[in-house]
Structure 1
Amino acid sequence: MALLVGGVTMITVIEMSNIKWLNSLLIWTLVIISIPLLLLYTLQGVLLLWNAFTVWRKESHTLGNMLTLGLGIMVIVILPLMRAIDQDLFPKNSVTLYNAFVVPVIFYLVFWFLAFITSFLLTRLYRPHYDQDYIIVLGAGLLNGDQVSPLLASRIQRALDFAAAQEKKTGQYPWLIFSGGQGGDETIPEGVAMKQYALARGAHPDKCLAEKESQNTYENMAFSKKILTGKQIDLNKGLFSTSDYHTFRAAGYARYVGLQIDGIGAKTSNFFIPNAFLREYIALMANHKKAHFIALLLILLVSAVNFLVGNGLQLF
């Protein structure tokens, strides 16, 4: 909200200044920003379906990897169909079901998505100092039951790169805690596979620990904290390593268990970014489902009143 209000204030001040070159600069800046946004808005459905096709070819065919497909179908088919039905059902200039109920919900969801993106960008500005005592590497599932996946490998490598850079700069190699339990389709715990992968790539054997019980990000943090406490490692001087899109949500779990630490993010493949962000967004919304349910219920109640009042003459 501060960014939005700040932008509107800046535009207003420039226009009131009557400085021609500044006004021209503002107009050209707005045009340059608006054109790609307009194209993105116009082609969003096609871009979502294209991304879904790319993910289908390159990743596993799980429900979590098909989020852009579902959203693309909604944008291209479902929402236009709902608008078309509304136009047939309601007279011109009346309050339609789509405008009364669907539009407010879309605005609510888009607002929180923009809030999530803003928070993510802020976490990406974080640059840790080379004085860390430990790095928790978060698991992400194994391939064929015992092999580190490319996504998981990028998280491990991000931690190894930081540890090596810190050792070169300060002579201190941090503890590496590889956190991940054993899933139903895995033959060994993720933490063990991750540790073996890291050791094969130069990690210090005496500084590697495997956490083998966790099944989600919350347990990654909580169970790793127990290991750190047992080793009497300073809890306040650490990091966690995960995929870049996951850093914001993971930081919330870290603070929830009492670890005041931030994350370093491994780069995600460009084609997977839209799907990854949607999945993180849904997970964040689910973490606060009661609050969002109440807010949406209030929005729908107000929308119902608006719909009834706006169509009073037609309905009665």
Structure 2
Amino acid sequence: MLVDAREPDLRRGLRQRGSDPRRLSSAVAVVGAVGYLVVSVVLTVVTLSPMVGGGLAVLLAVGLVVANLVLVGYLAYTGVVVVRREGHGLGNLLTLGALGGVAGLLLLLGLGIVLSWSWLVIPAVAGLAVSATFGLLLTAFVVYGAVYARQAPHPGMDAIVVLGSKVFGDRVPPLLAARIDRGLEILGSEQEAGRRPVLVLSGGQGSDEDAPEGAVMARYALREGADAELVRVEDRSRTTEENLTLSRDLLLGEGLGTSLVVTTNDFHAFRAAIIARELGLDAQVVGAPTARYYFPSAVLREFIAVLARSPIFHAAVAVVVALAAGALAWLVVR
């Protein structure tokens, strides 16, 4: 169930309407429910008509295999493109590293089976089980996050906050320009409806930047036609958490309301929403388009960053899954 981010008492609104959509568990629940529905339909058809159901099951199985092969090829291609265009940084190597890790586990499993080395099969199965578990979580994160990021912004917000990212001198790169353009689009719609929310450009100055991101972003917004009376600059933040909290503090300092619509890139929207929820902010996050070649590596970084917010819990899940899968493999191969 979706929650109106304009609810004056956000916590009371959540109790009345249901769980907050800005959490990873909501993503798992929704995607899991859809998957369960699909499986239930297939099993029902198989029960009512074995021939038709069997054909449907085969078709789905073939489709899944083809889809996975296409996905692997796409991830491999985009991983190489990202490294070529963006450099060999750790973040840019995540996609290729993840593919390499899964391929390595499959190779170990194959060798263990062929050579009858149970000591190799057991850890390979455990590793693949952990990989599959987090692969399902990643699928839920990507699918649910893509839907969340594309929601239309709720009208009547007090402010539109644009999250910053790296600038080059006085130049706003395409990735950041898309965020600002989305904010300007929302601002224009609000002005057409007779409302005047402020536009907060949020971002501090990195060690490799010549000026604060917020200031450079504001100049871009003004060149694009933003009303100067509505533009605000937050130029001290270094992280998404600081983007949100310092922008809120800026609004409070001016005696303005703090019901927010936050714009960022689509790959970052769901994590930003999770952070906003954890901070207790009344904020909806919407996403701007990202270059297709860049999206896989970027969303994988976001997913890892979300897991890192609860490291003990997710580490415990990995250990339990590995132990359970390893024990089952041992029972089979002993």
TM surpasses 0.5: yes
In structure 2, relative to structure 1, the CA distance for the partners of 1:88 and 1:37 (3 Å cut) is: closer
User: Pairwise mapping of residues 1-316 of structure 1 onto structure 2 (< 5 A)?
Assistant: 1-18=32-49, 23=52, 27=55, 31=59, 34-76=61-103, 78-90=104-116, 96-143=121-168, 145-168=169-192, 170-236=193-259, 238-312=260-334
Check whether the contact 2:42–2:56 (CA below 8 A) recurs between aligned residues: no
Check whether the contact 2:213–2:235 (CA below 8 A) recurs between aligned residues: yes
Q: What CA RMSD, in Å, does the superposition of the two structures yield over aligned residues?
A: 2.7
Amino acid at match of 1:221: L
User: Where do 5+ consecutive residues of structure 1 fail to align?
Assistant: none
User: Where do 5+ consecutive residues of structure 2 fail to align?
Assistant: 1-31
Q: Please list the CA deviations of residues 211-254 of structure 1 after superposition, one character each: whole Å capped at 9, or x if unmatched.
A: 11111111111111101111222223x20000011111101111
Aligned residues: 303
Check whether the contact 1:97–1:307 (CA below 8 A) recurs between aligned residues: yes
In structure 2, relative to structure 1, the CA distance for the partners of 1:2 and 1:43 (3 Å cut) is: closer
Instruction: Work out the CA distance in 2 between the residues paired with 1:248 and 1:273.
Output: 14
- What SS does structure 2 have at the residue aligned with 1:242? strand
Check whether the contact 2:94–2:297 (CA below 8 A) recurs between aligned residues: yes
Instruction: Work out the CA distance in 2 between the residues paired with 1:68 and 1:214.
Output: 28
Which 10-residue stretch deviates more, 170-179 or 98-107? 98-107
TM-score, normalised by the number of residues in structure 2: 0.81
Instruction: Work out the CA distance in 1 between the residues paired with 2:38 and 2:300.
Output: 26
Instruction: Work out the CA distance in 2 between the residues paired with 1:173 and 1:34.
Output: 52
In structure 2, relative to structure 1, the CA distance for the partners of 1:15 and 1:88 (3 Å cut) is: closer
- What SS does structure 1 have at the residue aligned with 2:258? coil
Q: Give, in angstroms, the shift of residue 124 of structure 1.
A: 3.5
Check whether the contact 1:48–1:71 (CA below 8 A) recurs between aligned residues: no
Instruction: Work out the CA distance in 2 between the residues paired with 1:53 and 1:98.
Output: 29
In structure 2, relative to structure 1, the CA distance for the partners of 1:11 and 1:309 (3 Å cut) is: closer
Q: Give, in angstroms, the shift of residue 128 of structure 1.
A: 2.0
TM-score, normalised by the number of residues in structure 1: 0.85
Amino acid at match of 2:267: Y
Amino acid at match of 1:142: V
Instruction: Work out the CA distance in 2 between the residues paired with 1:75 and 1:203.
Output: 48
Amino acid at match of 1:250: A
- What SS does structure 2 have at the residue aligned with 1:184? coil
Check whether the contact 1:100–1:307 (CA below 8 A) recurs between aligned residues: yes
Check whether the contact 1:44–1:72 (CA below 8 A) recurs between aligned residues: no
Q: Give, in angstroms, the shift of residue 100 of structure 1.
A: 3.5
Check whether the contact 1:142–1:186 (CA below 8 A) recurs between aligned residues: yes
Q: Give, in angstroms, the shift of residue 91 of structure 1.
A: 5.6
- What SS does structure 1 have at the residue aligned with 2:293? helix
Q: Give, in angstroms, the shift of residue 99 of structure 1.
A: 4.8
- What SS does structure 2 have at the residue aligned with 1:178? strand
Larger-gyration structure (1/2): 1
Instruction: Work out the CA distance in 1 between the residues paired with 2:233 and 2:98.
Output: 38
Check whether the contact 2:218–2:231 (CA below 8 A) recurs between aligned residues: yes
Structure number with greater CO (CA < 8 Å, separation at least 6) is: 2
In structure 2, relative to structure 1, the CA distance for the partners of 1:11 and 1:37 (3 Å cut) is: closer
Q: Please list the CA deviations of residues 280-315 of structure 1 after superposition, one character each: whole Å capped at 9, or x if unmatched.
A: 111111111110111112223334444554455xxx
